[in-house]
Amino acid sequence: MSTTYTKLSVENQTKESVDVYVTFAASNPKNTCCGSPATVGDFPVLTEVNKLMGKFSLAAGAVQEFDPQGNCFSGNICFYIEPQCPVKGASFNKGAEGTSIAEFTLNPSSGCDEAFDISCVNGVNSFIQIKADGEGWNYGPNKTPISTIYNKGLGLNSGNPGVFPVNCTDCIRLVGDAPCPTLPVGPAQTERICNIQRTQRGGTVNVILTDAEPA
C-alpha cells in the first residue's frame, strides 16, 4: 500500500545470507531538516551494536522493509562488516578494499529534499544498487531524472551518477585528509552528480546487494 511518506527496503540478491549494518544519524536540534531522526530502537529487527548502529541477518533472496512511520530516517547501510577503511589480510567482502555504503535521508522536514547515494569514499567491498520508486528523483546541475544507481569497482566510478568515488569526500575532489590513505583518490566526478534528490515524498527506496559489478 502506498503512503504519503517514504519507506526503505533492503534486498539480498546474492546466494548467501549476509550481515547488514544500519548506521543512524544522531539527533541534532540544530539540524532543521532532520533534527530527531529515527533510531535503532524504532526497528525491532535490529540488534543494537551501539547507540547509532544496529545489525540484522538477511537471507539469500530476502527483502527487509523499514517503515519509519513518516519520521525522518537518515543514515547508511553497509553489507558484511561495519563501515571501515581497508582491513589488512581481509577478503574482498570483508574489507580488503574498504567498504561501500548506501546513504539516505528520507522524510526530512518540509522544504528539505530527500536524498540518497552510494558512497565509495571508504572503498568498495560490495556492489550495491539503489532503486527508488515514486516521482521526482534527479541528479546534477541539470536535474536529470533518474531512479536507479549502482557502484562499480574501486577507481571506476567517475561519471557514474549517484556515487562518491574513493576518497572523494566532496564528490569532485578530496577535501582534508584522505579517509583511507592506503587507497587511491578517485578519479573524482567532473561535476556534482553524487547525490540523487527530490522534493516529493512517498514510495520506497530499495537498497540491493548484488553478486557482481554491473556490466
Instruction: Give residue 1's pLDDT.
Output: 47
Asked if 146 and 137 count as a contact pair (C-beta separation under 8 A), the reply is yes
DSSP, res 112: S
Domains of the chain, CATH where assigned: 7-210 (2.60.110.10)
Rounded to whole angstroms, the Cα distance separating 161 from 47 reads 33
Average pLDDT by stretches of 10, the chain with 215 residues: 86 98 96 96 98 98 97 98 96 97 97 97 98 95 97 97 98 96 97 97 97 79
Assign residue 69 a region (left: φ > 0; alpha: ψ between -120 and 50; beta: otherwise). left
Convert the pLDDT of each residue in 49-108 to its tens digit.
999 999 999 999 999 999 999 999 999 999 999 999 999 999 999 999 999 999 999 999
Cell 561519471 belongs to residue = 159
